[in-house]
Amino acid sequence: MGPLLLTIPKKPCDNLMDLLIIDTLDAEVVHWLESRHSVRYAPELALDAREFRAALYNVRALILPASVSFGPPVLPFAPMLRAVGRINGGAENIDADACARAGIEVVRSATATAQAEAEFMIGALLSMLRRVPVSGPDGMRVGRELGAATVGLIGMPPAARAMASMLSGFGCRVVGYEPSLHASDGVWDRWKVVPMPLRELIETTDALAVQLNYFSRYQGLLGERLLSHCKPHQVMVSVSHSGVFDERALAEVLSSGRMAAAWLDSLEPGALDEGRPLRGVGNLQITPRLASTTRESRLRSAWAVARRIDELLMATSVAPSEFRSTAPGVPLDLAAEPESP
């Protein structure tokens, strides 16, 4: 077999692509980006992993849907990448540590979905309290009102602020737990939420809203040690990654009837398969990441991500001498030096 020969164009930067968009975006956002940068809009690549990787080798920024993961297996195919954006859905399948080591910024909007998630969680609590009856003083099975409930917020992301404001309109007492906030932090007063230790919060509240940002150290945090002590007839809605729950403990507290109902808006694939603890639990409702996905939130998030990526691209322009084109999949150390002018 003869030596590997690579053809290096005289103007290598002609092949450089500013932005590859694989998510579906509003046309106005795409047109704005196209007016400022070289853009390839190719949502079909979300369904073709091989073509997706081949498309990355000359791309400086990327916008991915929640269905596409990004991490060490993909990084070697993206030597020019400086930003990866996510419009909606969580970023659990983007390896933030690997991106940081590679000098790639993960671009997401911290606030664009807050209103949508708050409305979803309140709607879920209203639904469960009303349609899952409990025994009244006279023995009749009846629903409950949100305004008479104490609501516990587990996690205090931007959605918690919006939710606390809405709950005050119902007349609820709102308490909260956030591991990264001390009880003396001024955010509790500003948001009108009473800080409380996690176990006490679970033991004393009528409704839980779980919105804890997920890290591996929180795997199984809400397990038997805490859930088995929940207040009887409690209802719970979660927009957090389902990894924060111990499946067996959640199934037990629901099947026993101690927790009246739960609604998870994010459940890992396979969690309802045959033999898994949550399979067949009748008072558990599952939805596929509906909380953050509204027309309004997607538009807010798309503009926020687009503007940040625009800033990064404008700030990191590449001079021709800094870029050497290679064929997709060819290691950079095999690429020949650019030809002399």
Q: What is the pLDDT of residues 59-80, one digit of tens each?
A: 999 999 988 999 999 999 999 9
**DSSP reduced 3-state for 245:** strand
**Whole-number Å distance between alpha carbons of 15 and 58:** 7
Digit-coded pLDDT (tens) for 203-262: 999 999 999 988 888 999 999 999 999 999 999 999 999 999 999 999 999 999 999 999
Residue 59's φ and ψ, nearest 5 degrees, are: -100, 135
Q: What is the pTM of this model?
A: 0.79
CB 254 within 8 A of CB 279: no
Helices then strands, each counted (H, E), the chain: 10, 14
Cα 262 to chain centroid distance, Å, stands at 20
Nearest to 59 by CA among 75, 73, 72, 44: 75
- Distance, in Å, from the CA atom of 232 to the CA atom of 254, rounded to the nearest integer, reads 11
Q: What is the mean pLDDT of residues 313-328?
A: 52
Q: What is the pLDDT of residue 246?
A: 96
Looking from the CA of 314 toward its CB, the CA atoms found within 13 Å total 8
CB 326 within 8 A of CB 6: yes
Select the highest-mean-pLDDT range: 2-6, 90-94, 147-151: 147-151
Angstrom distances, CA of residue 94 to CA of 70, 181, 232: 5, 25, 38
Full set of structural domains in the chain with CATH: 12-109+296-334 (3.40.50.720), 114-286 (3.40.50.720)
Q: What is the mean pLDDT of the chain?
A: 88
Alpha helices (runs of H) in the chain, residue ranges in sequence order: 27-34, 49-54, 96-101, 114-131, 158-170, 186-191, 198-204, 224-227, 247-255, 295-315
